[in-house]
Amino acid sequence: MTSAQDIADWMIDRIRTEGRLSQDQAVQDIPETFGPEWVRTLENGHTGISKEVLAAFRKTHGGTVQWDRDRRFWSVRG
């Protein structure tokens, strides 16, 4: 069974392999790869990553990943 930690690890692997991961791409790939229960509908009607996954992601990367708010992607802090 998939856990939030599994998805957090997958996100970090994508960032390290590809150099970055856009939020839009993650929101598209997570339900296709792991199931729709790992995304949620936000107040504005957009789809977002579940809070559980984001918490595991933040804990796992421990500051080695940065978020570009304007362009909406994560990349390796460098």
Find out whether 11 and 74 touch, Cβ atoms under 8 Å.
yes
Taking the C-alpha atoms of residue 8 and residue 19, their distance in angstroms, rounded to an integer, is: 16
What is the pTM assigned to this prediction? Answer: 0.94
**Quick one: CATH architecture of 4-76?**
Orthogonal Bundle (1.10)
pLDDT tens column, 33-61: 999 999 999 999 999 999 999 999 999 99
Work out the average pLDDT over 65-77: 97
Beta strands in the chain (DSSP E): 20-22, 39-41, 47-49, 65-68, 73-76
Please give the structure tokens belonging to residue 48. Answer: 């977002």
